[in-house]
Amino acid sequence: PSVALWGGRFTGGPSPELAALSQSTHFDWKLASYDITGSKAHAKVLHAAGLLTDIELEEMTAALDRLAADVASGEFLPVLGDEDVHTALERGLIERAGTELGGKLRAGRSRNDQIATLVRMYLRDQARVIGAQVLDLVDELITQAMAAGEAPMPGRTHLQHAQPVLLAHHLLAHAWPLLRDVDRFLDWDVRAARSPYGSGALAGSSLGLDPAAVAADLGFDGPVENSIDGTASRDVVAEFAFVAAMIGVDLSRFAEEIILWNTKEFGFVTLDDAWSTGSSIMPQKKNPDIAELARGKAGRVIGDLTGLLTTLKGLPLAYNRDLQEDKEPVFDQVATLTVLLPAFSGMVRTLVFDTARLAELAPQGFSLATDIAEWLVKQGVPFRVAHEVAGACVRECEARGIELWDLSDADLAKISEHLTPEVRTVLSVDGSLASRDAVGGTAPVRVAEQIEAAKERSAEF
């Protein structure tokens, strides 16, 4: 039979309706193994404070180990009436260690400092799992960038042809934000690495327990500085949720491009059969479902962050039961991203680019007009004038339905005396690409360096 942890001052048990509302084991059971690890650390500080004998510590630890094994095997599960993971595990401990010893573990701790600690332990582990998956995707992007070599593509702004860029350059433009996301998790971990254990309900413990010892035992850098903050704040959870949402958004922006590139009209890329889906009615269809699900799930993980922030807004210090709502959003983000990322990586690994089409389209839409303007600047023409002249070239071509390189020497001279036939040297995709050779630019030499830099960055984590 399950017992509430707070029976003493109550004349009866909770109403069934309250119990149903209050129960959280259907989601917080995920934290059971962390709770047991925390309990073992807590038993040690109770012992160090003289509140458990040597024998009691040994028996308590053995009982907790048995409980952990039963939780792992699924033999021990929460039952109806266990309010939360802590309640269920206390029942499990008492069943294994007896009421006398099992009842001693709760001294000097509260579910408030327990849950705040467990969430951090869980999220720190998950940040590593997700970070590794993000790095797998980064590696796929780097591999594709290397395979793309010096293949050009039309670079766009406002979704309009802007300037030619290397396909590799564009692919790496998706890798860098993802590398920063991993960096964000690392940086977040510095703040997450403080243990609320020992904060008690809010005011700290009076039993001479050492929060620093528990913190070290649980892999934290140290205890929190303030017990109220330790039990009441969830910015560490919210910051995790932001990074997770940002990963969702970064995937979604890439996904949107893949969806566009995969249309008949763009025709930039073909998806592998194993990483796309068909239609139940239209036999010809091959759909980019992974990319669409990524785009859709981005909305979901943003919602998780938004919901959490909304829960926190307006909460007075210290612990309020509202804080129980912090877990499902991040659990959902973790479940979503850990399934999405491997599928996304597989899709990226098997993308096949139509480099001939990309090369053909790269100079179209007058995407070399900037090169004319910049060539003129190098001849000493003020940029304002150069911009006008290049614009006049575009206007002429548009009126006659030709491309910039179709203008004759006479056409050029008529537009501006500065437009000598030498301007043709920049009227090629290769010339345009090679000219953008400052750090971070799309020139092949720079992109080759960039690939090495991305590899190094990825290997640093």
Specify the residue for token string 């991203």: 337
Q: Shortest gap between Cβ of 240 and ligand ARG (angstroms)? A: 16
Instruction: Pull the structure tokens for residue 188.
Output: 């977040």
Q: Are 397 and 403 in contact (CB under 8 A)?
A: yes
Q: Shortest gap between Cβ of 24 and ligand ARG (angstroms)? A: 5
Nearer to ligand ARG, 109 or 295 (CB): 109
Q: Shortest gap between Cβ of 119 and ligand ARG (angstroms)? A: 8
Q: Does residue 60 interact with ligand ARG by CB under 6 A?
A: no
Return the H-helix or E-strand segment holding 448: helix 444-460
Pick the binder of ligand ARG from 323, 347, 362, 412 (CB under 6 A).
323
| Pairing relationship of beta strands 222-223 and 269-270 according to DSSP bridges | unpaired
Nearer to ligand ARG, 82 or 371 (CB): 82
Nearer to ligand ARG, 84 or 139 (CB): 84
CB burial readout 112-143, b (16+ within 10 A) else e? bbbbbbbbbbbbbebbeebbebbbbbbbbbbe
Q: Shortest gap between Cβ of 302 and ligand ARG (angstroms)? A: 23
- Binders of ligand ARG among residues 3 to 32 (CB under 6 A) are 24, 28
Nearer to ligand ARG, 49 or 107 (CB): 107
DSSP of 196-251: -TT-TTTT--SS---HHHHHHHTT-SEE-S-HHHHHH--HHHHHHHHHHHHHHHHH
Pick the binder of ligand ARG from 61, 270, 324, 350 (CB under 6 A).
324
Pick the binder of ligand ARG from 56, 84, 139, 181 (CB under 6 A).
84
Task: Give the start-end residues of each E strand in 51-168.
Answer: 152-157, 160-166
Nearer to ligand ARG, 56 or 113 (CB): 113
Give the SS3 label for residue 95.
Answer: helix
The closest alpha carbon to 423, from 373, 359, 362, belongs to: 373
Q: Shortest gap between Cβ of 265 and ligand ARG (angstroms)? A: 50
Q: Shortest gap between Cβ of 277 and ligand ARG (angstroms)? A: 38
Give the SS3 label for residue 164.
Answer: strand
CA distance 30 to 403: 62
Stretch that binds ligand ARG, among 59-67, 171-179, 315-323, 400-408 (CB under 6 A): 315-323
Nearer to ligand ARG, 201 or 216 (CB): 201
Return the H-helix or E-strand segment holding 353: strand 352-353
Stretch that binds ligand ARG, among 88-96, 156-164, 318-326, 411-419 (CB under 6 A): 318-326
Pick the catalytic residue: 15, 158, 280, 408?
158
Give the SS3 label for residue 38.
Answer: helix
Pick the binder of ligand ARG from 220, 240, 319, 375 (CB under 6 A).
319
CA distance 266 to 260: 7
CA distance 198 to 217: 13
Stretch that binds ligand ARG, among 51-59, 317-325, 412-420, 436-444 (CB under 6 A): 317-325
> From residue 89 to residue 118, what is the string marking binding to ligand ARG with x (rule CB under 6 A)?
----------------------xx--x---
Q: Is 158 considered catalytic here?
A: yes
Q: Shortest gap between Cβ of 221 and ligand ARG (angstroms)? A: 23
User: Total number of residues binding ligand ARG (CB under 6 A)?
Assistant: 10
CA distance 284 to 98: 66
CA distance 123 to 333: 11
Q: Shortest gap between Cβ of 303 and ligand ARG (angstroms)? A: 20
DSSP 436: -
Q: Are 176 and 454 in contact (CB under 8 A)?
A: yes
User: Which residues does the annotation mark as catalytic?
Assistant: 158, 279
Residues of this chain that bind ligand ARG (CB under 6 A):
24, 28, 84, 111-112, 115, 319, 321, 323-324
